[in-house]
Every structure is written in C-alpha cells, then in structure tokens.
Structure 1
Amino acid sequence: MADETIYVHQSIAQSVLDHGIDTLFGLMGDANLFMVDHYVRACGGRFVPAAYEGSSVLMALAWSHVSGKVAAATVTHGPALTNCVTALTEGARGHIPMVLLAGDTPVTAPQNLQNIDQREVVKVTGAGFEQMRAPATAAQDVANAFYRARVEKRPIVLNMPADFMWEEVTHEKTVYPVFQTPAYVPEGDDLDQAVGMIASARRPVILAGGGATGARDNLIRLADRLEAPLATTLKAKGLFNDHPYNMDIFGTLSTPAAYDVIGKADCVIAFGASLHYFTTDKGALMKGKRVVQVNDDPAAVGRNHHPDAALVADAGLTADNIHWWLDEAEIAPSGFTKELDSAELTAHPPGDAEKAAPGCVNYVWALDRLEEALPKERILTTDGGRFMTEVWCRISAPDPQSFIVTANFGSIGLGLQEAIGASLAAPDRPVVHFTGDGGFMMGGVNEFNTAVRLGQDLIVIVCNDSAYGAEHIQFVDRRMDPGLSQFDWPSFAEVATALGGQGLCVQSQDDFETALEAIGKRDRPLLIELRLDPDDVPRMRI
C-alpha cells in the first residue's frame, strides 16, 4: 500500500496494522466505523466489539499487560470518549501502554450534539493526547501515538476529526523505533553508599516491584548470595514462586510470619518499587531499617518513601553489579534465611467451613479450596471491593504477567472487561476472575455475554454478600444500620445462564463441591456465585 492514494480512514487502519496490531477493541460510531471496516475487511485485522466504550479500553489494557505489547482500541466522539474516562485513568495510573483511536466531531460542525473539548476530557485522566493534525499526516500521527505509548508507558488518545476520514492521501508506512537500552550505575558515591549499606546488613530483605519483573533471576542470585528472603509488591505477585524463602507480598498483605520477618529486618533493598504506603504499611515497616531503592524512573525514587540510598538504574543490571561488588569485597552472607521457617512464610490462617451463616459459605474457607481446585496455569484477574484483598493473599498467580489488578483508580466494575482482554491475549489459557456483587452489576453483567460470544475459557467467581462491603463495614463500625448498603440482587447464576454461560449458586458445602466439579467439566464461561454473609467477609488489608 506504500505510495498508494487512499482515503484517510484506510490509511489509519493500515497504520494500526503497520504497528503489528492484529486485534482492535472498540465500539463503532460515526467517526470510526469506516476505519474499523477497512481494518477488518481489507487489512485482515480482528475487531472485538464491546457493549460499552470504556470496556474496550479496559480490554486493551489487559491485553497489553498479558501480551507485553502496546494495545489499541477505538471509539467515536463525545459521549463515547467520556464513557472511557474511568478506564483511561485506570490505565494511566497503572502505567499501561495503549492507544485509543478516538473520533472527533467535524471542525465545520461546532453545533454537533456530541461536540466537546476532547483534549480537556483526556487531560484529567492522566492519559496523553495526540491530535491528528491534517489528513496528510495521518500515518505520522498514528506512529507518534504508538511511540508515545511505549515511551511514556500510559494510554495515548489519538484525536481523529471525522471530516478527515474521506480525504485522499498517499499512505507511507511510518513506525518510529523506541530506544530502551537498560543502564546501571557503574561507580560513584551513590553506588558506594548503597553497597556499603547492603554489605553491613545482618538481616536484609529483597523487595521486587512491578518495575523489576524482568529481573527475577538476577534478584534470586543476589538474594541467595546475601542469604536474604524475597518479597514482592502486589503488582509483582508470583515473581518468586517456588523459591524456598519467598515471602510473597510485602506489607499489609503479608502473612503473619512474613510480617514478623520484615519487622526484624535491618535493610530493605527495593527494586522497581515505588514503596507505596500499602507496601510499607504507612511507613511502619520501614522504621529502624536502612532502605536502598533501585528504580529506572527518577520520579519514583522518594515519591512515597525517602530511601537512605538510591540508584536510578535497571533492576537486573544493578542486582548483578551489587553481587559483583559483594564478591569483590569478600562480604560474607548474612545468614538471615537460616533463621527462617520457609513453610510459614506464605501460610495465611485457614478458614473454617463451619463458621458460616445459614444459606452462606465461609469466604476464607472457600478461597482456600478454590486455590487448590482452580486451573494452575490460570491468568488471575480481580475487580475492586472489600473481597479483593483476601483473594490477593490466598489465590496464587503463576507470575506477575498472569496477574491483573483493576484497583489503580480504586474503582469497582472494571474487572470482567479486563478478564476478557486477558483471555484474548492468551487464548490457550484459562482466565479466573474474582468480582464482588456490586462490581459485577456495575460493569461485569454488561460484558459477560461478550465472553460467551467469543467462546472464552473464563471462570468468574462472584463474591456475593448482597452489599457494598466497604460501606457496610463503615456503618457497622459506627453502630449504624447498614441497610442502605445492602441489596436484593437477582440470581447472578441465573443471569449468567440466561446470557449463554453456565451459572451455579453456592449456598452450602454440598453446593460448593458441585461447583468444583463444574470447573473441571466447563465448556463455556462459568460463573460461580458464592453467597456470603456480609459480616463474615474480612476487612480489607489496607
């Protein structure tokens, strides 16, 4: 198609394909329908239509997370874009690269009912805005949007005026390379200070965040050299699975044994972590310790907790460099791991099946059973709500790329859409999604049939306490009537069945055994509705 005269909507579609995007999420409207049509019919791309515009962005975010690539979605103008505000904010705060191709009303029609200042709409979300400047620059502007998404690690909205779409242009393939050579600090006072603190530590702990997920082997080598236990932030969950001194999540989500170990530590070496206050338990876990922070983003250093030493550098290269200096100086291992009981480090207190109200099951007990019964090669996604922190603690994920948290903006109702996107990125793997009743009603019920239409291997666990749990507990704490936070929902199991999936309601231990059998026999999206007592669901561990 190079140097061929075509229409702008065709050039945009071809440009998306030029960037290796073979799956496009979205919802069609006046400003993007011809582009989508050409992308599918002439370019051979796959279009995944969502029921709601924001869902298409969420699907793309999850697709990006699981695939490790920049994703793309498209919507039309005005209310279609405003319907994406929460999803774009979720992506921006999660630093997830994707491009949203958004139409805009014609410049010549300022009285169009859907006209709005789309730059200002995007600005409040934290996403980037890229204006399509002219018909002749369409391919360049698409390339700029994809380049910025990769470099800035956030969603970029490409604003496409509808009156450009049928203008004739000459298409030329344009893809801008991204240069991301990792670097480390080879020498200097900062390095000397950091290595000195690590070398003198008697009870060091290595902490990995989302920015260090590519450095697993390097960090394990350093931990073994130091005889230090390993832990992760929530976003790096699963990184050190199967290591004997893996403590899993560091902070408010730690097991009692791991929390005690962290409390005894005298040095925390944090790689690729911003040291959020959930990770540090509002700073309590950092008191009396030297903190060394390694992050390739200068803005992340000291953002939430000011370290005693810091290196702006690549996690893997820096871990290897520290290892080399420890050997060079003949520093003895700390011996800290010899004091630890590895079996206790990841053991949470078990649930009790008998502690359940009539017509309900014990939530913690159910999670422990599901951990054993769910497919091991799963991708794990969670919606937001009071139920979520116990899921994060008790349900494992194979690795960080197989674990998706939709809580970057603290919203509910975003999870099922991301589960669908994750499944499309890894169609040969089962996706397990945990959601609350409120979140499923807000966003999940809109898209469950999308998963059915796509024939996805999806297991949805609805933790139904018939309440907005985070609000319910606040009423109870103040000895107020929680009635306004409680709901008489329809049967989610029956809704799932009506939408083409299989739904099962669990109100007893016998029902639970039936549901576990269904997991192994599933042939369509399966929804398991756990009926819970709102007074039985543990408080959020935050």
Structure 2
Amino acid sequence: MSKRKTYEILAEAFRQEGVETCFALLGDANMNWATALAGLGTRMVYVRHEHCAVAAAMAYARKTGEPGIATVTCGPGLTQILTALPAAVRANLPLVIFAGEAPLKSGWYNQAIDQAPFIAAAGATYRPLHHVPLMADAIRNAFLEARMTSKPVVLGVPFDLQERVWPEEAPLPSPSTDLLPQVGAMPPHLDDIARAAERIRKAQRIVVMAGMGAVKAGAGPACRRLAEQCDALLATTLPARGLFHDDPYSIGIAGGFSSTAGRELFTQADLVIAVGTILAHHNADGGKLFGQAHVLQIDVEPVAVSQGLVAAQSHVRADARLGVEALAAVVAPRPATWRNEETIRLVRETPFDPHPYPAEPGLHDPRDVVAALEKSLPPEWEMVNSSGHCSYYFAQMPSRPQERFLTIREFGAIGNGISFAMGVAAACPDRTVVLFDGDGSLMMHVQEIETIRRHGMKILICVLNDGAYGSEIHKLRAEGLSDEGAVFGRPDFSAIARGFGIGGEKIEDLADLPELMTKFRQTGGAAIWDFPVSDKILSPVIRRGHPAKKAH
C-alpha cells in the first residue's frame, strides 16, 4: 500500500474546510501542496505576483463572507505580501495563507528568514507547523481563528516536513465549521436603549449612518425605519456606500468622500447614530464632517476613541440590526421637518463637486467620465473601486447598490485594484466586473492583465489616465514644489491591453460610450478603456487637505 505524503493530507485538510478557490504563486515551499489542492478540485488562480494573491483573496473574502485563501512560497514569497496583510487586518477580512517555510534539515538555505516577526508586524497571526502529526489540527484551528476573529492567519510549513510520509495514526479532524459557536446575535440592554431613545428625543436634526457591521447584520431596513420615525437622513461609510442608494433621503457617503450636499447637511446635524461602524478617521473626515454633533454608536464592540479621534459620546452595545430595531420600537414618531422636498432637491440636484475648472482640449473632466459611466454601465455588473486620487470620483455613483460595489482602502495603498477585481471575478464568475482605477495604480501590477486573460475573467478596466500619481502631483503643486518625480506621461493602455491579448479602447469622446458598451456586452471577455483626463482638476479631498500656499 502506497504511503501518502504530508503535503497531500494538508491539501485535504484545506479542501475539507470548503476551499473552492485559492490564489497562488508557486515556489519550492508550496508548489507540491498547491498541486495536490488543485487535484482535489479547488480552483487555482495562478497570479504573477505574491501581493496580488493575497489582495485577490481579500476581495474574495469580502464578497463571499468565507475565508479568502492564498498561497506563496517562503522567504521572498512571504515578504512580498506585507503590503496586503495590514489592509486585511484593518478591514477585518478572514484569510488563511499557506506560506511554507525553509527546510529544517538544511544548515543553510538561501531563502530562509524568520517569518513570524514580519507577519506579527503587519498585525496578522503566524502559526508555524513543525510537528507533522498535529499539522491537520493546526490547519483546522487556523480556519477557526480566521472565522472567529475576521483576521488573516499565515501558516508556515517547512517543505522538507511536507515531504514526510503522513502517519497513519493521525486522522483528519472535523472541519472548523463543526466547532464554530452557534450563538445568536447580541441584543441590546434595555437601559442602553432607554438612554439612546432619550438622546434621540432631545435631538433636532439626526443622521443615521450605517457601516459594514450594518451590512453584515442586515440592518438596512431597520435603519430606514428608524430614520423615518425620527425625521432623520441616511448615510453610509465608504465601504457600505450604496446601502440606501434608492432612498430619497440618503445623503450618500459620510467622510472625506462626502458630496457637496452631504457635507452641507452633516454640518446641520446635532446627532449622528453610527450603526455597525468603527468610526474611522476618514469616516469623520478627521473630525471636520460632523464634529459638532453628538455621536451615538450601536455596535458589538463600541469605542470611545478610534484612530486618534474621540469617536462617540454614547453607546449601545448590540448587534446592529437588533439594536436599531429596539430603538425603533420605543422612539416616538415625530413630524417630518428635515425630510422634505427641499432636502430631496438639494441631494438630487447639487453636483457632487460643483467647483469650476476650465475645459482642456483633448482631455476629459473626471467628473464627466464618472457621470457617463453611471448612465452606461449595466446595474447588474460588479463594481470595484481602487485607491488614489481617482477613487473619489468613482465613489460618486449614487445609483449603484452596496452589494454590487466593493472598495477596500484600509492602509492607503494604491496598486490593489486589479487584484481586488480578480478576487470579485473569482467569487462571481457569471458576472462582469468593472474595475475603476488610475494609471499609476494600474501600472503597479499591470502584469496581472495576463492572469485575467489566462483565466478567462470577465473584467472591464476603466482607467482615469492623468499621466501621473494624481494625489502626489496635486500635493506637490500646492506646496509650490516641482511635480517632476510624480509625472510619468500617459501610457497607451489600449495598446497595452491588446499586447496582453485583451480588448483595448482609448475613449476620446464620451458620446461613444453607449455604442462601446453594446459592443463589449456582445463580445464579453476582458478589456481596458483608457480615459485621458486633465491633471489640473483636484478632488475636494485634495482641495480641502492641501490648499495652495500663498506666494510671499
């Protein structure tokens, strides 16, 4: 009877956890395991850079609610993922990463490195697996930890141990899903609800603001009911944008990306009910958005200070849906004064950024590009927003529901968009994915266009091409400094796309979009649409944060 290798059993341990998709870049320390996992029926997405494997797994986790799975080799393979990991930690995304380790039997190995401190510095958990009979249990426990903490867990398995024969007396444990505590959602304390209801009774103008905790708890309908009862407006954090997209009293995103109308209305609020959100620094625009309002937080882990700011003054500890439902049950309905036609018109008719900029021949205004895409893109397509200067504009698409729009901006890194799009495409293989990105961000991992083509992913990439790193040139100019180090010229992304074997178009006239959209829907596949935009137009985020210095 043939003896089975340890890496084969470890692959079975992953497969037993329900792993259907794994993002991978192979090397000595993971290639045998990954090949065995593929042989068990797991779909392997073989990327061109280790960072992209983990970033794609992040988007997959956000979209599916299941742990995202990635694998990289030891040493340089692991160090390449250290930009993605902090973002996954801060975004509360469950990941399990099979990283391998250098062989224990070698006195010297070129790629050996103490991997644990790197992972700990990123805020994730590192689990070295050095005892063969307990490795399968350790994998089960890693999945259990990722599911319960919503954080990444990295497994280091020396590849010489992976080659050992698996001991017959070490059976696979039951999967982590069998051990997950089966508990109900946390209800609020009645005293907390009474105090919160009194706070609402005394307030004049209220905004109910929902975050990802509200999305996960299914609290959207309850938030709408509460807002209607207490004459409140609705808003969301950036990751939850679109949760109230069809409500006339939704003022959109709360934070640095707030629209002009949204900012005006937030300044009038004296109470913000924050539902299922950590109240991040950007959510309050550094305290400048609704700093005059009392903040009542409803969350299972309420906070007083978040990311350096006093975030909330009163709290209800509860599941987002149950907390809001309990409040709605005791709050007396009040007459509508803020919820009126004037507010609806302000929200509907005020441009998200009305600041005037002169037209430049041959270049688009990014606001016009977004408006044209908002009209042309099918509502059922999955939307992915990247980071950088361009991301402000692409967030301003008010008709798009939350379940069709993904953004992960924690840690502030650009270059992730193409990976996030691949993760969503793997999670939703029957839908077309639209990636909104900037030229600088896309060029960071442009090699993944080949991955998209090879795996037959249906991804349309829309690029705002200003020929530079947008945030940096505007900040340098505001300081009166040379922008030379952030200007690179405008790559011809239509030619680049065709070089990789996918479709490519340079959009010189926005009136062509409907015809191009019809053509793309007929042909399918993947493509890049290159929108040359002015580098003289600053987003409101940059204008507020980096006003031009006066000459002396």
For the superposition of Structure 1 and Structure 2, which TM-score range results when normalised by the shorter chain? over 0.9
Partner in structure 2 of residue 234 of structure 1: 238
Q: Alpha carbons of 1:83 and 1:103: their partners in 2 closer, same or farther (altered >3 Å)?
A: same
1:388 maps to 2:391: yes
Contact 1:204 1:266 in 2 (8 A): yes
Contact 1:356 1:536 in 2 (8 A): no
Q: What is the correspondence of 1:411-422 to structure 2 with a 5 Å cutoff?
A: 411-422=413-424
1:173 maps to 2:173: yes
Cα offsets for 1:120-179 (capped at 9, x unmatched) = 111111111122141111111111111111111111101111122122233323323222
Cα distance in 2 between the residues matched to 1:240 and 1:110: 60
Contact 2:92 2:150 in 1 (8 A): yes
1:141 maps to 2:138: yes
Look up the equivalent residue of 2:162 and give its one-letter code. Answer: M
Partner in structure 2 of residue 185 of structure 1: 188
Q: What is the correspondence of 1:280-429 to structure 2 with a 5 Å cutoff?
A: 280-299=284-303, 304-326=309-331, 330=332, 332-333=334-335, 335-338=337-340, 340-346=342-348, 347-349=350-352, 355-394=358-397, 396-399=399-402, 401-429=403-431
Partner in structure 2 of residue 249 of structure 1: 253
Partner in structure 2 of residue 40 of structure 1: 38
Cα distance in 1 between the residues matched to 2:141 and 2:400: 35
Partner in structure 1 of residue 550 of structure 2: none
Q: Where do 5+ consecutive residues of structure 2 fail to align?
A: 546-552
Contact 1:205 1:230 in 2 (8 A): yes
- C-alpha deviation, 1:499, in angstroms: 0.5
Partner in structure 2 of residue 197 of structure 1: 199
Q: How many percent identity over aligned positions?
A: 29
Look up the equivalent residue of 1:389 and give its one-letter code. Answer: Y
Partner in structure 2 of residue 496 of structure 1: 497
Match of 2:118 among 116, 121, 129: 121
Contact 1:352 1:362 in 2 (8 A): no
Partner in structure 2 of residue 67 of structure 1: 64
Look up the equivalent residue of 1:137 and give its one-letter code. Answer: L
Contact 2:125 2:154 in 1 (8 A): yes
Query: Does 67-76 or 508-517 show the bigger shift?
Result: 508-517
Q: What is the correspondence of 1:196-235 to structure 2 with a 5 Å cutoff?
A: 196-213=198-215, 214-235=218-239
- C-alpha deviation, 1:537, in angstroms: 4.7
Contact 2:261 2:352 in 1 (8 A): no
Cα distance in 2 between the residues matched to 1:397 and 1:151: 31
SS at match of 2:103: coil
Contact 2:22 2:43 in 1 (8 A): yes
Look up the equivalent residue of 2:375 and give its one-letter code. Answer: E
Contact 1:301 1:310 in 2 (8 A): no
Cα offsets for 1:179-210 (capped at 9, x unmatched) = 2531122323x433222101222211101011
Look up the equivalent residue of 1:342 and give its one-letter code. Answer: I
Cα offsets for 1:416-439 (capped at 9, x unmatched) = 011011011011221111111111
Cα offsets for 1:301-349 (capped at 9, x unmatched) = 65543422112211100111111222xxx46456431364324325424
- C-alpha deviation, 1:98, in angstroms: 1.0
Look up the equivalent residue of 1:101 and give its one-letter code. Answer: F
Cα distance in 2 between the residues matched to 1:335 and 1:463: 41
Cα distance in 1 between the residues matched to 2:271 and 2:394: 29
Question: What is the TM-score with the length of structure 1 in the denominator?
Answer: 0.92
SS at match of 1:264: coil
Q: Alpha carbons of 1:298 and 1:229: their partners in 2 closer, same or farther (altered >3 Å)?
A: closer
Q: Where do 5+ consecutive residues of structure 1 fail to align?
A: none
Partner in structure 2 of residue 96 of structure 1: 93
Match of 2:73 among 72, 76, 101: 76
Look up the equivalent residue of 1:421 and give its one-letter code. Answer: G
Query: Does 171-180 or 417-426 show the bigger shift?
Result: 171-180
Contact 1:351 1:362 in 2 (8 A): no
Look up the equivalent residue of 2:47 and give its one-letter code. Answer: A
Match of 2:28 among 16, 27, 30: 30
- C-alpha deviation, 1:300, in angstroms: 7.2
SS at match of 1:419: helix
Cα distance in 1 between the residues matched to 2:345 and 2:451: 42
- C-alpha deviation, 1:373, in angstroms: 0.5
Query: Does 348-357 or 247-256 show the bigger shift?
Result: 348-357
Cα distance in 1 between the residues matched to 2:353 and 2:210: 27
Partner in structure 1 of residue 548 of structure 2: none
- C-alpha deviation, 1:507, in angstroms: 3.2
Partner in structure 2 of residue 273 of structure 1: 277
Partner in structure 1 of residue 434 of structure 2: 432
Contact 1:133 1:141 in 2 (8 A): no
Partner in structure 1 of residue 549 of structure 2: none
Superposition RMSD on alpha carbons, in Å? 2.3
Cα offsets for 1:493-531 (capped at 9, x unmatched) = 101011011011123456656644544444221100111
Q: Alpha carbons of 1:413 and 1:302: their partners in 2 closer, same or farther (altered >3 Å)?
A: closer
Look up the equivalent residue of 1:8 and give its one-letter code. Answer: T
Cα distance in 2 between the residues matched to 1:417 and 1:306: 32
Contact 1:406 1:415 in 2 (8 A): no
How many residue pairs match? The answer is 532
Partner in structure 1 of residue 470 of structure 2: 469
Query: Does 428-437 or 336-345 show the bigger shift?
Result: 336-345
Query: Does 129-138 or 417-426 show the bigger shift?
Result: 129-138
